[in-house]
Structure 1
């Protein structure tokens, strides 16, 4: 049978129909049966339309040259199938049934949390999929010739339904990739091409989450259709022959997507969300699903780039907190205090490239030049939305869930990915081992999708973002594997353009120049999915030669507009050449050629490589060469003297630092990455990269494995899983806090009981783990509750008296105090998995060690806890600990639309945010990549 299991709708579609209260199960079944009958008949007709579909058991094409020896595995929850028909959505909402392969990777992924302690080599694929090339003949579920073509075959396996695309021509191969992508993610692809254009509400309705998403992305990438096309033309021209090939690949890929749209439309097995949002009629089949075009992929790429591949920014917020520090302490001391909390080049930060080599970038200049700090209190954010009409009629519960979904998606760039790579010198086999993958959040359907693609110049298996899967973006080739983590180095700068004439003209090289106004009006109709009323609003952005306007302020009394200049702005498609090279077995043959390939990727990522002999690392991104003396952490005056070197506003290009100046390495003893500092003197773009960082959780475990030698795949997976269950605060900060408290006998019974529980938890390993698989109850539950309640109390009591409320508040706006798994206020929102990247753990660590009299490299300029007195600090810790211990579970975990108040396990649990009509169950918290590979190649070409 043809593949016809689409399954999505935005978070608002969690309740796709508001069924009358009198609707019984029987009447619902009758309704579904009525819908199912014509759909089934159409599906049968669709079988002949999809020429070449064969029954399960048909032999797959011979696997390409595979040097993994059965030792490559991967996993991507919840499942490969991200499309669902209307009937499947209704059945899921009413009875919880799942379309085929929509959820079958969720349980293995979830079970590693309790299953990893007894993991062996033989059990790895109990928790991962076999990622070998090809499909054994007895595991073939279906074989399809998409569009009736004879130059490409899509084979899907029985276990996961992953498409294995084999083509005899380049065009046919890419056509098949597009067809398979639409089979698995058509609705999601459609959603995100509209998000990238800032036009989600006209497409999917005016729910608050839709408005928030389109506003968030359009503010940062306000592209016109001409801009989208210009980026294609530029990338193709710059890429030469490979650029021409990339354009041909994209066109073939789009042809495949559109072929599936036509087939699913005529066969009436298109995603049911099109009915629920009013684009199609379930009975008459009236309505259209728009074909994709090349510029849609640029819009998609702009969303992915904004989420995962652009580091830096925040200069205005930095300036505001610096002014607060200077206001309290004076300019000299205030600057020193601010720099100590900023930790942009902390000597205790864990490094990915740890061999001692220095890679200076974006460090603090000795004599800063051109800074444009705002006058106190003058900053206002640029208005984006105008002329709003209509109002949302969604329920409070729906608003809460969609708001959380928005927070989880748009802040995903703040919590990404990890990698553990060990050189063959330290493994049992003598071959390198890697356990790595990107943390892209948890959504239904997932943003990523799996595929294998084999054709002329293409040979890879792995994950790609839906709608951009003409190449595998993270995965394995014939004898090598690669992955990435978000690096986030600073490629975004803020310029203060001085206004002239009025608020919409500015000085450019001494000439009063008009800003370019880009605007669009979005109107939407009511939908059955979310109950929103009809409405509209206008979005408006002003662009300058230094990027879009983000804020208004005064500097030295003169009115300015603060603009945001990003090196990848207007260059969202440039990275396609790098991904093309990664998929080309004739290009990537060594760590050196791998590094050359990823040098073509202009987004900010850490890239890792492993084959049977070598490992490698490279940090990618177009790092602009800044003018001498410019401090990348603060707004700078928009004058020629402070521009990026050889900056051309017409093309948004400049000089970029050469590859040799990017952190890179080959065959280091091991590599770890969890969004930590890349290398010595490579300044952190984000706050919180100091002595305690979640990267330490990997560093400590992998370093021990390497020291012992004989590392195996299962041992490295265990290290990753164990780190992913650890509470960073409890493992790396709590022991010192207990030292202070236990410096004298604890006489208060409440405090003593809390200390006892916390100490027992630290001794047990400081993990947030279930008592047993599926128990939904934590071991050391009381200790976890106490620390969750205590952390924010102790941080505030420790630092606010010394910093003062204004400065304390300003710094917390730069860096949240906490990001525990249950912290709904954290950067990634609640139920998002990724945790402990951003928080005040390093500050507490350095301050408490100083109070204890220890030497603290890169320490804070003064002791804050108790004014530096051990006794006074101890009293602060005990008093806040007592307060925390007295808080009930319901107070610490207040509940939300997913969990009841007081349900500790559920508060931490991972929820797959609905971007479509299918829902999935929550799984136990574990802090690990969404897509993950375990690889150990046994041979090389």
Structure 2
């Protein structure tokens, strides 16, 4: 079995920016002995077997979630970790399994799957019981943890006891993280955890999108549970029981002094006297948590103002008619060459381009400014949004989760060796310590499931398995957000609503902080404020036709963060989900934008969820429209932010398709997402190519599907799907320049070898084809600029780059994901380069760009600029291409790509080699059905 032990000290990440720097080793030795806290009562072992519920997977369900289940650590454990690198129990024991797949997948067999995953069968064998807890001394619920992973298996005899146990287990494993995120959701992180730039960035990033008051949070609970009948009543009872369990653990850990050590390090508790408090949780905290998770993963759309700016730039360059054609060709709304999840030709029209756009409110050139969010103590705005330091820090933290996304590979039983469907799927939620998700099994009245849930929202399993079915999701990104231009009246803080001058509502947060232990951050304070209208929060200001307007952002999930609870409740209910139809009925109750996948022993299914608004006729969802009744969502009620939504049948959906793939690609024909770049080359193609070949050959096994996923996870999309075309141009005549010829030889050999970013051997920390990888990393941004900027001009090239970044390679810290985040190749100009180069070569292109750009369409001129930029790239040293950061020395290619578990608490973990795959992942094949 591959080792799961911690990496060496040299692999460990350095102290992260934005979290308090801990006391130096010289001052710790005296403290550690006195600070060693007693273990939680859960550490007492029990050898009794856990009662297993009905499990129809036949031992063929597996999962993985690095770095480990335990996300809490006492102060002593944090200090030991910081000084000696030791890990608390179960804090890192899934990281090795996960990290070793890139070197082990090529020889994988079904029998070896659990060398890289956990057995996800229900229950715990008697010989594998590590601990048994009766939380709060209750007799109606038991938490059993297994020796291998420490995952909580919660079994209740009453519904209340079951949910109480789920809350208690969540606090055992993620109390600090849950506390951080309830403050992020309220825009109060700096007051809670200190004024480090990363903390400022987080609260600013999320609070702008969900500037809720306490009354707003409570109203969401009342509305979501009140409208759902008996299920709503049950959800409210479940949430209250869950909160009671969290608070019971808070009290127990406080009195026993084994609460997370971060409370001491941020000044909330005294390590000597135990003075201070850990605030109890309340129901509105769950909504605050949900607003963060929903903003990260389930709110597709927006960007209409940026779209307008790039359209205006195109029209300025080419004129209105031709500029609009150029813009549409780069937008690729409905590209015929795009990889599709529903690929049988079914059409699901949504957010299509209208024949004649109505109500557009494009800004006057040069008039757009972003609405200030942050104000200093004197009341002066300090920036359009976060300060530059805060914004940079935020980019390297949760922004990677927002961009990371997920993937799914699902094969029908018609094409498997066993005749049963097989699925390998999971969400990409980023890499954090502790992880945003936690594993659990819940068995109780009306609940039977195992899998992953977001910490603090784990009253139900959100992604995982039931008794005889599994489900998972990927972020879908269809557009549920629109931008309205509200005309101002009286002053900058009043607007016209249906002809009446109406005051904006101002929502404020004032945060202050003190220096935290050894952090060196100066005490400070600032105020955040957002102006809200009936059409949503103000995001920009501009003029339209000389009229002053505020651009507001309205999303269907605004004020509805809690609504999805009913769908998750249904997914956990074995009496509700019994087949594809009932699965689809469950996820229809989830208002966030997700692609949902299902597999049981006989069937597979897919459904795209989200409250898709029915827009007024003629409204183009790509651009801002006037805030007038004629252009509002149909039957929109601003008091409740409800409207008419497209029916379930209009959402991309399918049952028993031969196979499904999803990597945040286009869902179906005519279904327009808000994402730029759904064109001829997308990272979804990495899955499509591999899975389609497996299905064509037949006899697919679990290990074969894992291999396909793992191979795609190491592929460089540019090298696999675009570089061969570039080399065709370069080699259209003999390459006489020695530098260019050597580079071409290395790149060609890499493509022939499979175009993977893979180590020479396990743990070597050196890539095979390292020179070729370095050359392409350096070449890509150079060749894109050389290919497109001359034709587009600097302004339009920059504007399109604001809509879609040029590059997102693993080590591209300049890309939207940031460094060390794993997920790569979702955002980039791969499709543009592919279509343009094929056009220059004279090859057929469907949905091509409106003109040829490389060398003005001349093959020889295109070849010249490619060779020139290639020579420049080949001359760049590794230290230039990989400049080094707080994790890596300059020139360390493997380290630049490596995945780092970004700290959201006090425990640090070792780096692992790059792989582009989900964070939580399941491998499932059911052998029977109820």
Compute the TM-score of the two structures, normalised by the length of structure 2: 0.97
Which of 85, 95, 120 lines up with 1:106 in the alignment? 95
Match of 1:557 in 2: 546
Q: Is the 8 A contact 2:197 2:389 kept in 1?
A: no
Q: In structure 2, how many angstroms separate the alpha carbons of the residues matched to 1:83 and 1:777?
A: 34
Contact 1:141–1:156 (8 Å) recurs in 2? yes
TM-aligned CA deviation for residue 411 of structure 1: 4.6
Whether 1:260 and 2:265 are equivalent positions in the alignment is no
**Ranges in structure 2 where 5+ consecutive residues have no aligned partner:** 1-12, 380-387
Among candidates 326, 332, 344, match of residue 337 of structure 1: 326
* CA distance in 1: counterparts of 2:395 and 2:326, whole angstroms: 34
Paired residue for 1:934? 923
Tell me how far apart the structure 2 counterparts of residues 273 and 412 of structure 1 sit (CA, whole Å).
Answer: 23
Q: Please, which of 754, 779, 797 is the counterpart of residue 768 of structure 2?
A: 779
Q: C-alpha offsets along residues 310-332 of structure 1, whole Å, 9 cap, x if unaligned?
A: 00000000000000000011000
Aligned residue in 2 for 1:518: 507
Q: Does 1:287 align with 2:276?
A: yes
Three-state SS of the structure 2 residue aligned to 1:806 is helix
* Aligned residue in 2 for 1:92: 81
- In the alignment, is residue 429 of structure 1 matched against residue 409 of structure 2? no
Partner SS for 2:714: coil
Q: What is the CA–CA distance in structure 2 between the aligned matches of 1:692 and 1:376, rounded to whole Å?
A: 33
Q: Work out whether 1:32 is the aligned partner of 2:37.
A: no
Cα distance between partner residues in 2 of 1:179 and 1:106: 24
Query: Is 1:633 aligned to 2:617, yes or no?
Result: no
Q: How far apart are residue 57 of structure 1 and its match?
A: 4.4
Is 1:156 aligned to residue 145 of structure 2? yes
User: SS of the counterpart of 2:543?
Assistant: strand
C-alpha displacement of 1:10: 11
**Equivalent residues in 2 for 1:646-665, closer than 5 Å:** 646-665=635-654
C-alpha deviations, 1:659-679, integer Å up to 9, x for none? 000000000000000000000
- SS of 1:641's partner is helix
**Preserved contact between residue 201 and residue 394 of structure 2 (Cα < 8 Å):** no
- Within the alignment, does 1:670 sit opposite 2:659 as a pair? yes
C-alpha distance 83-161 of structure 1, shift in aligned 2 (>3 A):
same
- Name the CA distance, whole Å, in 2 between partners of 1:30 and 1:279: 22
What is residue 307 of structure 2 aligned with on the other side?
318
The answer to whether the aligner puts 1:202 opposite 2:207 as a matched pair is no
Once the 2 structures are TM-superposed, how far is the Cα of residue 34 of structure 1 from its aligned partner?
A: 2.2
User: Secondary structure of 1:485's match?
Assistant: strand
Shift of 1:737: 0.3
| CA-to-aligned-CA distance 1:109-155 (integer Å, 9 cap, x gap) | 00001100000011000000000000000000000000000000000
CA displacement 1:518-568 (0-9 Å, x = unmatched): 112111111115221111111111100100000000000000000000000
Per the alignment, do residues 479 and 78 of structure 1 end up closer, same or farther by CA in structure 2, a change over 3 Å counting?
A: same
Question: Which of 559, 567, 571 is residue 578 of structure 1 equivalent to?
Answer: 567
Mapping for residues 247-396 of structure 1, pairs under 5 Å: 247-388=236-377
Residue aligned with 1:519, SS: strand
Query: 1:872-908, CA deviations, whole angstroms, 9 ceiling, x for partnerless residues?
Result: 0000100000000000000000000000000000000
CA shift for structure 1 position 415: 2.6
Equivalence for 1:920? 909
* Secondary structure class of the residue paired with 2:525: strand
Indicate if the aligned counterparts of 1:421 and 1:671 stay in contact, CA closer than 8 A.
yes
How far does the alpha carbon of each residue in 1:260-287 deviate from its partner, in whole angstroms, 9 at most, with x for none? 0000000000000000000000000000
Q: Is the 8 A contact 1:343 1:688 kept in 2?
A: yes
Which residue, 8, 16, 22 being the options, matches 1:17? 22
- Deviation, 1:244, is 0.5
Deviations 1:857-882 (A, max 9, x none): 00001110000000000001000000
**Which residue does the alignment assign to 1:50?**
none
Q: Does 1:762 align with 2:767?
A: no
Q: Distance in 1 between matches of 2:15 and 2:226?
A: 37
Check the 8 A contact 1:10/1:916 in 2, yes or no: no
Aligned match for 2:439, one of 444, 450, 454 = 450
State the alpha-carbon separation in 1 of the partners of residues 739 and 473 from structure 2: 47
CA distance in structure 1 between the aligned counterparts of 2:321 and 2:231, rounded to whole angstroms: 53
Q: Note the 1:700-715 alignment, pairs <5 A.
A: 700-715=689-704
Contact 1:10/1:917 (<8 A) preserved: no
Shift of 1:401: 11
Q: Secondary structure at the match of 2:329?
A: helix
Task: From 814, 819, 825, give the equivalent of 2:808.
Answer: 819
Specify the alignment match of 1:489 in structure 2.
478
2:620 paired with 1:615: no
User: For 1:791, what is the secondary structure of its paired residue?
Assistant: helix
* Secondary structure, counterpart of 1:156 in structure 2: strand
Residue 429 to residue 373, structure 1, CA distance change in 2 (3 Å):
same
What's 2:221 paired with?
232
CA distance in 2, matches of 1:222, 1:10: 32
Aligned ranges 1:857-936 → 2 under 5 Å: 857-936=846-925
Residues 81 and 405 of structure 1: CA distance in aligned 2, closer, same or farther (over 3 Å): farther
Where do 1:681-692 residues align within 5 Å?
A: 681-692=670-681
Tell me the residue number matched to 2:798.
809
Aligned to 2:4: none
For residue 923 of structure 1, give the secondary structure of its aligned residue in structure 2.
Answer: coil
Cα deviation 1:477-510 (Å, max 9, x = unaligned): 0000000000010000000000011101101111
SS of equivalent residue, structure 1 residue 454:
strand
Q: Check if 1:794 corresponds to 2:783.
A: yes
Could you say which residue in structure 2 is the equivalent of 1:396?
none
> What is the Cα deviation at residue 30 of structure 1?
2.5
Deviations 1:545-596 (A, max 9, x none): 1000000000000000000000000000000000000000000000000000
Measured in 2, the distance between the counterparts of 1:451 and 1:201 equals 31
Q: Deviations over 1:191-211 (max 9, x none)?
A: 000000000001000011111
**Contact 2:811/2:882 (CA < 8 Å) preserved in 1?**
yes
Change over 3 Å in CA distance of 1:406–1:863 after alignment to 2: closer
Task: Measure the CA separation in 1 of the matches of 2:779 and 2:108.
Answer: 34
Q: How many residues align?
A: 911
Q: Secondary structure at the match of 2:54?
A: coil
What CA distance in whole angstroms lies between the structure 2 residues aligned with 1:759 and 1:259? 62
Q: Which runs of 5+ in 1 are unaligned?
A: 1-7, 48-52, 391-398
1:219 is aligned to 208
Seen in structure 2, the aligned counterparts of structure 1 residues 572 and 511 have a Cα distance that, compared at 3 Å, is same
Equivalent in the alignment of 2:158: 169
1:158-194 CA-to-partner distances (Å, cap 9, x unmatched) read 0000000000000000000000000000000000000
Task: Note closer, same or farther for the CA distance 1:54–1:499 as it changes in structure 2 (3 Å cut).
Answer: closer
Within 2, Cα distance between the matches of 1:650 and 1:149? 43
**What is the deviation of 1:15?**
5.5
Q: CA deviation at 1:413?
A: 2.2
- CA–CA distance in 2 between the matches of 1:441 and 1:402? 18
- 1:386 CA drift (Å): 1.1
Structure-2 separation of matches of 1:389 and 1:409: 30
Partner of 2:584: 595
Provide the residue aligned with 1:123 in structure 2.
112
* Secondary structure in 2 matching 1:789: helix
Q: Which residue of 2 aligns with 1:78?
A: 67
| Residue-by-residue CA offset, 1:358-396 (whole Å, 9 max, x unaligned) | 000001101100000000000000011112489xxxxxx
CA 1:304–1:449: 2 relative to 1, 3 Å: same
Instruction: Compute the TM-score of the two structures, normalised by the length of structure 1.
Output: 0.95
Q: Is the 8 A contact 1:408 1:830 kept in 2?
A: no
Aligned-residue offset at 1:704: 0.1
* Other-structure match for 2:822: 833
| d(CA) in 1 for partners of 2:258, 2:399 | 31
Root mean square deviation of aligned Cα: 1.6
* CA shift for structure 1 position 17: 2.5
CA distance in 2, matches of 1:408, 1:258: 28
Q: Which residue is equivalent to 1:742? A: 731
Residues 411/368 of structure 1: CA separation in 2 closer, same or farther (3 Å cut): farther
Q: CA deviation at 1:237?
A: 1.1
